[in-house]
Amino acid sequence: MENSGKSEILSWILTLVAAVVIALIVRTFVFNIAVVNGSSMEKTLHDRDVLISNRAVLFIRNPKREEIVVFHSPTDNKKLNIKRVIGLPGETVELKDGKFYINGEILAENYLEDDAYTLSNSDEYWQLGENEYFLVGDNRNPGKSFDSRATGPVNKSEITGITGLRLFPFNQFGGI
């Protein structure tokens, strides 16, 4: 009887260790939790929204235009930011008269409110290099989004995941 008790305890310990290892692998390589900090993505996302960030998809494909990504802050590598992809590697991004242009064509931003206007001091232009993305917040009001307009393009190596699911608040649970 004593051996079966020890065997059962050992079985529980091995199961627990296996569960922890699997959870760490999933968190490191597959999914992560991201929490919105601030109003830079309003009206799409709000302060303290909790999101699932898919890490594994980055091993399969590159981020696409209009997707919302999680990435290391250009000013603090320990901090994660959440923004929308508008410019892809090799493209030119222009901001003029409050609108973004990609390779000379106006960018249709259907996720923004109709009266959204992107404030800029002057016409601005960025040429994206290989593996560079132009990321901006959906809240274009002055001072609301510290994004690629201020920090420049973000390298793919700094992108940690693509979001697609909101976990919290529960009344907004679902796809983004």
Q: How many Å apart are CA 40 and CA 6, to the nearest integer?
A: 55
CA distances from 14 to 2, 3, 9, 17 (A): 18, 16, 9, 5
CA quadruple 68, 175, 29, 61: dihedral sign: negative
- Catalytic-residue membership of 148: no
Q: How many Å apart are CA 70 and CA 57, to the nearest integer?
A: 13
DSSP class of 36? -
∠ Cα 87 88 94 (to 5°): 35
Q: How many Å apart are CA 98 and CA 116, to the nearest integer?
A: 9
Q: How many Å apart are CA 51 and CA 118, to the nearest integer?
A: 26
Catalytic residue among 7, 39, 40, 64: 40
Catalytic residue among 53, 78, 83, 157: 83
- Catalytic-residue membership of 40: yes
Active-site annotation, residues:
40, 83
